[in-house]
Structure 1
Amino acid sequence: MILPVFKLGTLALKTLCKPIGNRIKKEAGLHPRFRQSIINIAQANHRLTTNLQRRIYGRATDVAIRPLDEEKAVQASADLVGEFFVFTVAGVALVFEVQRSSRSEARKEEARKQELELLRQKDEELAREVEQLRRRMSEVEQLAKERGLSGVFKSRVPKETDNIPKDALPS
C-alpha cells in the first residue's frame, strides 16, 4: 500500500520541481548580488568551454576571449541554476529510491536466511530421527538373531510365569 503512494509522491515532486526551477531561473536574473555571482559563473564557464573547443579543433588557445554580454550571461547561468535544481531533486529522489530498495532487499535476504535456518533445523531433527530409527532397527535385528524368526514376531520379553503351566497358576 505504501509503495504506490511513495512512487506517486516522488512523481509529484519531480513534476513540481520543474516550475520551481523555472522560478529560480527568473529570480536569479533579478536579485542584484546573485545576478553578479551568476554572471561571473557564466563568464568562467564561457572561457572554459571556449578553450576546450579550441583545443579540440587544434586552434590557438592563447587568444583573448571576448566575454559574453550581461544578458546572455545571466540567461546562461539562470538556465544552469534551474537545471541544476531539477537534476539535484531528481538525484536525491533516485538516491532515496535506491536506499529504500536496498533496505527492502536486505529484509528479503534476512527472511531467506531465517527460512534456511528453519530448514537446517528441520534437517537436523530428521537426521536425529533417522539415527534413532537405525538404532531401533539394529536392536530389532539383534533380537532377531538372538531369538530367531519367531522371536521377532513375539517381541515381548518372557516373564517367569511363562514357564509355569497354566493350571498351576492361581486364577
Structure 2
Amino acid sequence: MILPVFKLGTLALKTLCKPIGNRIKKEAGLHPRFRQSIINIAQANHRLTTTLQRRIYGHATDVAIRPLNEEKAVQAAADLLGELFVFTVAGVAVVFEVQRSSRSEARKEELRKQELEVMRQRDEELAREVEQLKHRLTELEQLTKERGLSGVFNFRHSKATDNKTKDTHSS
C-alpha cells in the first residue's frame, strides 16, 4: 500500500518541479545581480562544453572561444538551472527511495535473525530432551541387564512384594 502511494507522490513532486524550474528561468531574466551571475555561469559552461567537444572531435583546443551574447547566455543558464533543479529533486527522490528500501531490507533481515534465534533455542531444547531420553534409556538398559527383561516389566510389582515381605518379617 505504501509503495504505490510513495511512487505517486514522487511522480507528483517531479511534475511540480518543472513549473518551479520554469519560474527560476523567468526570475533569472528579471533580477540584475542574478542575471549577471547566471550569465557568468552560462559563459563558463559554454567554454567547458565547447572545449570538450573540440577535444572529442580532435579539433584544436587553443583557439579562442567566442562568448555567447547576453540573451543566449541568460536563456542557456536559465535552462541549465531549471534542469539542474529538476534533476536534483529527482536525485533526492532516488536517494530517499534507496534509503527506504534499505531500511525495509534491514527490518526483514532483523526478523530473519530473530526467527533463526528462536529456531536455535528450540534446537537446543530438543537436544537437551534427546540427552535426557538417552540417559533414561541407558538407565533402563542397565536395569534390564541387572534384573533381566521380566524384572524390568515387573519392576513396580517386585518392589511392592519386597515391601510386603519386609513388613511381614519385621512384625
- Same fold judged by TM-score > 0.5? yes
Deviation at 1:165, TM superposition (A): 10
CA 1:61/1:2 → structure 2, altered by over 3 Å: closer, same or farther?
closer
Correspondence for 2:159:
158
Partners of 2:73 and 2:84 lie apart in 1 by: 16
Counterpart of 2:159 in 1: which secondary structure?
Answer: coil
Aligned twin of 2:29? 29
The count of aligned residue pairs is 168
Which deviates the most, 63-72 or 76-85?
Answer: 63-72
**Unaligned residue ranges in structure 2 (runs of 5+):** none
Which amino acid letter does the alignment assign opposite residue 15 of structure 1? T
Matches within 5 A, 1:136-155: 136-155=136-155
Deviates more, 1:71-80 or 1:157-166: 157-166
Computed over aligned residues only, the root mean square deviation of the Cα atoms, in angstroms, reads 2.1
Deviation at 1:164, TM superposition (A): 6.5
- Distance change (3 Å), C-alpha of 1:154 and 1:41: same
Q: Distance in 2 between matches of 1:30 and 1:118?
A: 67
**Which has a greater percent of helix?**
2
For residues 33-54 of structure 1, give each alpha carbon's deviation from its aligned partner in whole angstroms, at most 9, with x where no partner exists.
1111111111111112222222
In the alignment, the residues of structure 1 paired with residue 7 and residue 64 of structure 2 have an alpha-carbon distance, to the nearest angstrom, of 51
Deviation of 1:59 (Å): 2.4
- Corresponding residue of 2:115: 115
Normalised by the size of structure 1, how large is the TM-score? Answer: 0.89
For residues 54 and 104 of structure 1, do their structure 2 counterparts lie closer, same or farther at Cα, with a shift above 3 Å needed?
same
Offset at residue 62 of structure 1 (A): 2.0
TM-score (norm 2): 0.89
SS of residue matched to 1:148:
helix
SS where residue 9 of structure 2 aligns? helix
Residue identity in the other structure for 1:98? V
Is 1:95 matched with 2:86?
no
**1:146-166 deviations in Å (ceiling 9; x for gaps):** 111101212326244343699
Question: Where does residue 130 of structure 1 map in the other structure?
Answer: 130
Greater mean alpha carbon deviation, residues 123-132 or residues 31-40: 31-40
Percent identity over the alignment is 82
The 3 A distance-change label for structure 1 pair 162 and 144 is farther
Change (3 A) 1:164 1:43: closer
Gaps of 5+ in 1: none
